[in-house]
Structure 1
Amino acid sequence: MLLFTLFGRQVFGINVLKIKEIIPYHAMNTLPGANPAIIGIARLRGQPFPVIDLSSALGMTTTKDVAEFADCSIIISEFNRSLQGFLVKKVDKIIPLGWDAIQPPPASSGRFNYITGVINIDDKIVEVIDVERVLNEVAPPKDSTGKGVSLSDEQLELLRRKLILVVDDSGLARKQVSQTLAMIGIDPVMANDGKEALQLLHALHAEGRTVDLIISDIEMPEMDGYTLTRELRKDQDFASVYILLHTSLAGAVSKEYATASGANAALTKFVTEELAEAVLEGLGQDH
């Protein structure tokens, strides 16, 4: 976890696996008509990307005069298949920790809407930013490839009988996945993290209900997707369930660790048709 501050004393964190580089702030071209939190367009080895004033995006301040950015840094990250920069006041340090050290955020409003977890470090609270939500509001990616998914009435009827569990700590991600599954006639059950998913799976099993496929995020507080997968593979009741890890991390990294943890497949967020195709493949449906 990379720790940093914005324009205040609160410490924030972001997963280092998302980070490409950290550079000093420099003047850049503005983007007319863009969200006010986007302060300009920068380039990394020729590839353009938006730079977001993270303090403004979290609703903590309005975008400041560029003169106040002089001693700031830009965290360049790769997230959901795209590059973006985050303007921060000061980069602090990198700390190693497991996702079990991260607790769910308090139920609140304001900037806590953009926090996916909290960590207690040396009696100080670090807030882990829900980058997915920030990007969706400030610089939303293109959602669809336009290919569409074509299914017969017989396939749709069969799919309606399938039970899929979606595990993700981001409410936005759960909504996106749910909307995708609705395209193929599936109404999933939901869990906020791996720990809650395990409890729900055991409850469903006790009722005699079988989950046909699990779509799980990787980065979640209390229990991450890799740990959830390993726990399920050790349990004879769930050892054979199809697990698709759906993540904002870079594809090569996530697929390698997904295989090692026992998952059947990994997919980088978020393209509607690709997720639908992956689900159909996991359910053994030709289309």
Structure 2
Amino acid sequence: MSKLLNTVNQRTQLAGENRLELLLFRLEDKQLYGINVFKVKKIITCPALNEMPHRHPIALGVANTMDGPLPILDLKLAIGHGASEKVRGNSVIVAEYNRKMQGFLVHKVEHIINIEWSEIHPPPRSVGKEHYLTAISKYGDEIIEIIDVEKIIAEIMPFNETVNNPLTEALDSAYEKQNEEGSAPNKNVLVVDDSVVARNQIKRCLEAVGFTCTLLKNGLEAYQHLEEITVSGKHPNDEYLMMISDIEMPEMDGYTLTRRVKENPDMKDLYTLLHTSLSGVFNKAMVEKVGADDFIAKFDANELANAVLERLKPSSAA
């Protein structure tokens, strides 16, 4: 399986082309699941685990690896399908989410497929609200379920969403300047993310420092929304201070959304911040390739709040 991953760093040319590669796996059942290859660091056989005191039931234990202690999570139990019958000897997908490494216990890792984001769709409404899917797709005659890993991690290792330093000086300076000009500061932010957990995290973070948010679920929905604004004769900057976009989204990814916005003369001035858990493989070259104005790895409430507050400074507003 290591051969499947030894060329991951060569796959970054997919950025901005609305394509991705999925690592397919199973969880002791017939269902096929997928995870973005960009998230995966390596695949190992589950070793002996050390018990963790007061552990969450999903956390099986900690493995001692060459890279240090690695928490191992039972992915089957996490999505409500019962505990894995076998642990030792099963496969572990080692991945980076939100600046931390985790190991996800799975039954069997299969192979990698190359697919277009347009072939990945939001979960059907029939699954209800209490589910762990962020998207679905097809491979042959099988349905691929893409799990909302951020939701799982947030449940067992909640993020610190407290904003310690709201940069009140930046706010006061911006308000004073704009009040002198007889205009109120634009404090509405367009937030684009397919994970309901991530959308709500960003919303709570920004509302804590006085902003309002418009929440959308994917890049296609966001681009169509911006098109409607321009068709009405307005500019996106009339409606929004900036756009914060995830990268991994069904229908249209954040890379493609950013590139299309920056290529559109009626939208290109909209400040765009990419905000994603793809921190382990993301680099400055990708930001420049699609024309994004900035990038922040998920999830640091202070870092995100500060980045948005910076947009209210007189120099930024100009």
Instruction: Please indicate, yes or no, whether the TM-score normalized by the shorter chain is above 0.5.
Output: yes
Q: Is the 8 A contact 1:105 1:112 kept in 2?
A: no
Q: How many residues align?
A: 283
Offset of residue 49 of structure 1: 2.4
Q: CA RMSD in A?
A: 2.3
- Answer yes or no: is 1:149 the counterpart of 2:170: no
Superposition deviation, residue 39 in structure 1: 0.5
Q: Distance in 2 between matches of 1:127 and 1:255?
A: 31
Q: Paired residue for 1:229, among 254, 258, 270?
A: 258
The 8 Å contact of residues 59 and 110 in structure 1, kept in 2 or not, is answered as: no
**Residue type at the aligned position of 2:191:** V
Q: In the alignment, which of 302, 305, 308 is matched to residue 276 of structure 1? A: 305
| 1:201 counterpart letter in structure 2 | L
Q: Give the TM-score, by structure 1 length.
A: 0.90
Q: If the length of structure 2 is used for normalisation, what is the TM-score?
A: 0.82
CA contact (8 A) 1:2 1:15 kept: yes
State the match for 1:218 in structure 2. 247
Unaligned runs of 5+ in 2: 1-21, 179-183
CA distance in 1 between counterparts of 2:185 and 2:269 reads 21
- 1:5-41 per-residue CA deviation (whole Å, 9 max, x = no partner) reads 0021000000111111111112210112111011011
Q: Give the residue type in structure 2 aligned to 1:7.
A: E
**1:5 matched residue in structure 2:** 26
User: Quick one: distance in 2 between partners of 1:160 and 1:131?
Assistant: 36
Aligned partners of 1:285, 1:80: CA distance in 2, in Å?
31
Deviation at residue 111 of structure 1 after TM alignment: 9.2
Return 155-164 or 87-96, whichever deviates more: 155-164
Shift of 1:147: 4.3
Q: Secondary structure at the match of 2:249?
A: coil
Equivalent in 91, 94, 99 of residue 73 of structure 1? 91
**Worse-matched range after superposition: 135-144 or 168-177:** 135-144
2:186/2:239 contact within 8 Å kept: no
1:32 aligns with 2:61: no
Could you list the per-position Cα deviations for residues 63-107 of structure 1 after superposition, in whole angstroms to 9, with x for gaps in the alignment? 346xx2234101111111001000000001011123222111112
User: 1:41, 1:48 within 8 Å by CA — same for their partners in 2?
Assistant: yes
Amino acid at match of 2:273: L
**In 2 relative to 1, CA 95–156 (structure 1 residues): closer, same or farther, beyond 3 Å?**
same
Paired residue type of 1:278: A
Q: Is the 8 A contact 2:185 2:312 kept in 1?
A: no
Deviations 1:169-225 (A, max 9, x none): 011111111111112211111110011101212233427343220000000000000
Determine what percentage of the aligned residue pairs are the same residue: 40
Mark the CA change 1:35 to 1:248 in structure 2 (over 3 Å): closer, same or farther. Answer: same
Following the alignment from structure 1 to structure 2, what is the Cα–Cα distance between the partners of residues 43 and 149? 39
Residue pair 1:114, 1:133 contacting (<8 A) in 2 also: yes
Residue 143 and residue 154 in structure 1: after superposition, are their counterparts in 2 closer, same or farther (change >3 A)? closer
Letter aligned with residue 134 of structure 2: T
